[in-house]
Structure 1
């Protein structure tokens, strides 16, 4: 399907006019048929490729659709409509950074093109860039003031950040345009629950679930709200059932696509299998020399999701000498090369200095692409699942410090089950507590074997200890990474870093409330429902020093 992009546009003007007229009449299928016929006749025009790509996507031929849209971009690089369509297709392929670049190009080409700004905002929201997403949705609202969805998304972002006055203001604006807008209703329900107006939240949830327009994804969100309400009402069996229904809806919405591929559990088991028989890796012969554009201190922060990594990152980010990355993929270039099988890890073990330096530079380029300037700073690169990339870290960054966050495994698995993560290879197994416990055990087995077999400098911090003895634990962490302790770290909920850096993970609201013990031992309320998961987690409960009861 891919064609020679060096050939110029060749299109019959009468045929193009006919296609455009057909689109204007609302007959998209007819326009697609005309475009396909024109392409088969040897004509070349971005509109033709764009329309055929739409048909290919409908047929499930996504790779061919992407190729057509790439060709359309090469033929019309100044066309914002083509760039926007290309971004949508890239996003469908989970190539988020490239999709963001395509949307930004479209908005640069046409500052009044509301669909591209909307897609940019939606993609930024998915990437956790909440402040930038807000700016994009505000732009859409200004360009199209009668559109409800961008305002509804602004309401949801405000509620995620715990900014309830702002969430209510956006909700009222949204519902004035569309009284049934689901996102705004969700934001209002969340605001009701924040002030413990449980009857009001209950009525709104019932009305939302009764809406026949709700698809599986929206129903997932609504059942999640019902589950949170039941939890707040101490109706724990009912809450667990609602969480399970929410997760079932998530799988329906995904259509089984993620489950068909390699999951995080698969990656953990593969890593565990490799290092269970591998001999200890020796340190690199000549360590890399730090250049002036690199950080003075470099630390990777990891741990299973919901283990307190966000709290610890925010505490460290409040230090005046620290810059941090909140869950941005930075090691993808190396992972594609080496995390592909035993032979890949064997090649990584023997990595030469030349290739190492190239991959280090690719890493720093990605860090800066995320808006972080690490030069002469302390960089905290936080990504929970980076524990499965410890082999890469030890070869590329032997000087880096490893911060490993721990929390009671039973609370971790339950909390993952209750969160509405985007369905992806590393979250699909968290939709069920038994599978989640199996993933946790495999992840920890792989991580502990890596830490045993690789020359790494690691410091473990239990979430509960950080909350109960904050100054002591933060001083220990600072001593470990070589950073002077700062009293600014006590003010992590109000630090200046939050003016430009919004917490995008599910931990945002908890972190905003500061240090609290409210989540400690939550698993006990769901002990019966966790019956299948608890035996799987017991070895790790004992290893990490948590009480059996």
Structure 2
């Protein structure tokens, strides 16, 4: 809370200090009467006249101090009330008013000391307790602030200032649900309470920022919308809603939110930076650069604006200009963790493009150190899924996929290959986004990107669960699956997979587009896929294991349990080895219909490699598959780290890139070496 808001909440006017209505001093009595009636000029003259006769009249000093505070003359007000207390140090009202004036003047520690004295003298003074609570909260002592406010609330359960200060103390401690309920309680009594409305909107906003930090994007969006329902002119909320909607894959709404923020505050460079980044992600590069440049005219060293401009210039092939955006600015040492992350990763990409692998790797190391911090924050947040659940599930599945157990699976009717989705899997960064757009360009295929549809099948059979231990319940059900349960699981899976996918027009009668489930790490769930769709065709995307691991380490992923493996090079190699070990084990036990396709072959012989893939899918060649880059450019948003690459068309700069980084990759090479010959790559 800023000083202006503190002053608004700590009004120092009101009834003057009473002492038997002036006692036997008619002049003091007249001044008190004038003060009570609102004739402040007459009251001031009266108090001054009393003090000319009686310089130590504590009541006149006290009340003259209140008048000075009302006029914003805080130093004079403090001096006058302190003089009054020298005369009568046990005057609880004067101690309380001194604390109130000090609080309004921003002198928080002296204010707290005065209010503590007031409460000791008058333990049942609800106003003093509430002010003490506000003061402790402003000092960063939210728990002490809340205790004081609760004592005040017992004495004055319906007093609006007491309820307000309690809500503020709860909000400061990030007890958002409690604070929101307390603000709502006050607003139920006084629906137009301006300060409560203002603070409630900020409480929702701060709740949203905390939710973003924990990776809870959908709840954060709802919190921001609630803030804007209360205060539609809250520019920061509009700006951050735009950034959030962009992360949620809703670019049109994101752009509209940022433009609304700029309508409210054209000088909001943060909103302009968000808008520039939204436009860059949508591949509207000229528009993005125009917004970034407009913002940089106002704030030449704004890091987000420089970052947005650098991203655009890198994609335009102007690496030198992009690197110049970082010139003269050190990577931010404090502030937004997402900014600091993106800053390092963008520098790494630029150094990589410029052929400087050592500088690039230094930047990626710095970015991944921060990514590990972010992962620790998210996995330690209340209600988050436990770290390591991916590996635990891999181990559980590996133990279940044995010839003996598979032989005991209950028999169920299998959908035909034509009635089954096609599954596009592979280790992340193996070229699945490129394949996605090649397949999407074919009129007989439509691709669902990164949809966790198998989780819906799990939920349909065993309920929603988050822990690895509950995974065994899903595997139990799969092994003993009957026709009814299988149909329920498939229906839940398909509803989630196809939700939001546009229909493609039929090529001719009866030829509807088949759905491709593109989720790389479904390679870990091929056993489950085979149980539900044993005739399904599976496309396995392969790429040189060293390139895959290097590329994964170079990405600023949205961190979940699986992606968190890529924040450490050795861990990346280990995760690759464990993933491919599980894949090969499942292949040995189950009769999967797999077509493996290497990224390098796709680059070397596009037509031949894609032709073989279409033959596997029993589809005819279609010239439109060559236009995959145009297919990508037409999409509003691509929700993978390859969004800026797939729109370029075919290029070979990433093929065998690992060789330039060989000196850095010893931890990876040791892990992936056993898989090189199996996938057709030479020994290293």
After TM superposition, the score normalised by the length of structure 1 is 0.79
- For residue 287 of structure 1, the aligned residue among 414, 418, 423 is 414
Change (3 A) 1:172 1:374: same
Separation in structure 1 between the aligned mates of residue 254 and residue 369 of structure 2, nearest angstrom? 28
Separation in structure 1 between the aligned mates of residue 458 and residue 392 of structure 2, nearest angstrom? 15
Shift of 1:68: 8.1
Change (3 A) 1:110 1:218: closer
**Equivalent pair of 1:321/1:378 in contact (CA under 8 Å):** yes
Change (3 A) 1:219 1:169: same
Aligned to 2:605: 469
Range 207-216 or range 109-118, more displaced: 109-118
Aligned to 1:183: 304
Shift of 1:152: 0.8
Separation in structure 2 between the aligned mates of residue 461 and residue 255 of structure 1, nearest angstrom? 36
In the TM superposition, what whole-angstrom CA distance separates every residue of 1:303-340 from its partner, at most 9, and x where no partner exists? Answer: 11100000000111122343322223222234564863
Aligned to 1:513: 648
Change (3 A) 1:448 1:26: same
Shift of 1:540: 1.2
Separation in structure 1 between the aligned mates of residue 489 and residue 169 of structure 2, nearest angstrom? 38
Change (3 A) 1:26 1:56: closer
Residue 466 (structure 2) pairs with residue 330 (structure 1): no
Task: Select the structure with the greater relative contact order (CA < 8 A; seq sep ≥ 6).
Answer: 1
Separation in structure 1 between the aligned mates of residue 566 and residue 146 of structure 2, nearest angstrom? 41
Shift of 1:280: 2.8
Aligned to 1:157: 278
Shift of 1:440: 0.4
Change (3 A) 1:303 1:106: farther
Shift of 1:499: 3.0
Residue 227 (structure 2) pairs with residue 227 (structure 1): no
Aligned to 2:359: 238
Residue 578 (structure 2) pairs with residue 433 (structure 1): no
- For residue 351 of structure 1, the aligned residue among 478, 481, 496 is 481
Range 415-424 or range 46-55, more displaced: 46-55
Change (3 A) 1:422 1:39: farther
Shift of 1:98: 5.1
Q: Equivalent residue of 1:402, what SS? A: strand
**Equivalent pair of 1:38/1:48 in contact (CA under 8 Å):** no
Residue 396 (structure 2) pairs with residue 275 (structure 1): no
Residue 540 (structure 2) pairs with residue 407 (structure 1): no
After TM superposition, the score normalised by the length of structure 2 is 0.65
Separation in structure 2 between the aligned mates of residue 270 and residue 247 of structure 1, nearest angstrom? 29
Separation in structure 1 between the aligned mates of residue 246 and residue 293 of structure 2, nearest angstrom? 21
Range 183-192 or range 354-363, more displaced: 354-363
Q: Equivalent residue of 1:527, what SS? A: helix
**Equivalent pair of 1:258/1:423 in contact (CA under 8 Å):** no
Alignment of 1:65-464 (within 5 A): 81=201, 91=212, 94-97=215-218, 99-100=220-221, 114=235, 117-194=238-315, 200-209=321-330, 214-255=335-376, 257-258=378-379, 261-262=387-388, 264-275=390-401, 279-280=405-406, 282=409, 284-287=411-414, 298-335=421-458, 337=462, 340-367=470-497, 369=499, 371-373=500-502, 376-454=512-590, 456-464=592-600
Aligned to 1:540: 675
Larger radius of gyration: 2
Aligned to 1:5: none
Range 452-461 or range 314-323, more displaced: 452-461
Change (3 A) 1:274 1:367: closer
Q: Equivalent residue of 2:539, what SS? A: strand
Range 99-108 or range 126-135, more displaced: 99-108
Range 301-310 or range 477-486, more displaced: 477-486
Shift of 1:408: 0.6
Shift of 1:451: 3.6
In the TM superposition, what whole-angstrom CA distance separates every residue of 1:167-214 from its partner, at most 9, and x where no partner exists? Answer: 210101222343332211112223444566555444432433265655
| RMSD, aligned α-carbons | 4.3
Change (3 A) 1:335 1:538: farther
Separation in structure 2 between the aligned mates of residue 460 and residue 51 of structure 1, nearest angstrom? 59
**Equivalent pair of 1:401/1:457 in contact (CA under 8 Å):** yes
Shift of 1:235: 2.5
Q: Equivalent residue of 1:504, what SS? A: coil
Q: Equivalent residue of 2:328, what SS? A: helix
Q: Which runs of 5+ in 1 are unaligned?
A: 1-13, 59-64
- For residue 525 of structure 1, the aligned residue among 660, 669, 682 is 660
Q: Equivalent residue of 2:448, what SS? A: strand
In the TM superposition, what whole-angstrom CA distance separates every residue of 1:482-517 from its partner, at most 9, and x where no partner exists? Answer: 44432111111113x743442231212221111122
Aligned to 2:45: none
Separation in structure 1 between the aligned mates of residue 224 and residue 265 of structure 2, nearest angstrom? 18
Separation in structure 2 between the aligned mates of residue 516 and residue 253 of structure 1, nearest angstrom? 33
Shift of 1:156: 2.3
Change (3 A) 1:40 1:529: farther
Separation in structure 2 between the aligned mates of residue 74 and residue 447 of structure 1, nearest angstrom? 56
